[in-house]
Structure 1
Amino acid sequence: MRAALWVLGYLLVMCLPWLLAAVSSWRRGRRRQRGVAPKRDTHPVFFRRSREWVAREEAVLAARLAVIKEAEGVVRAADARLSPLYETPVPPGDSPVVRTAEVIVEAEHARVVSEEI
């Protein structure tokens, strides 16, 4: 008995789209017989809802894009004002700063090599 119920439930679930289509077709036919013809330009509720969701998402994305463009404008204005402060000349290769950095890198490399051994 239990197995028969499982099989019946499975068949019902698998045939549900066809059952819904048959019931909808039957209802449309009954409405036509009564003289209440359905409008051809109406769409199911989920299409209207999906259009509303798309419109809402587009509005949110447009607002985000406006905020991003405003932030980019602020960054560009700050960059135009502050860029001369951050421009530092690159020292020549034979300067004491570059030589000191090379010595520090060589010393660190030698320490790492000696720790590995």
Structure 2
Amino acid sequence: MRAALWVVAYVLLMTLPWLVAVVSCWRCARRRRRGVAPRDVHPFFFRRSREWVREELAVTAARLDVIKAAEGVVREADDRLGSLYESPVPSSDSAVVRLAEVIVEAEHARTVTE
């Protein structure tokens, strides 16, 4: 009987870190499902992450606006000139070239800020 108790105690002692990890993960998942913030995560972290998301959405919206403007210019040039494969390269004062320069400058500014 005493040997069996020693074996059970030894097995529990060896598996204790795993048991603690399982129970801890279960408790954290239950808290997350209930919407309770973990103790070690401060509200400051959540505020900062919301700010990052807001900044990323603003940058993405600006990029989307530039892309839509570029598409509009290309469609306009396509309607005016026909297919770009059949027409010569537009002159340097063309709206397509100016828009390409704007896009390059915007991407350069984005990479500099990052």
TM-score by length of 2: 0.36
Pick 1 or 2: higher relative contact order, CA cutoff 8 A, min separation 6.
2
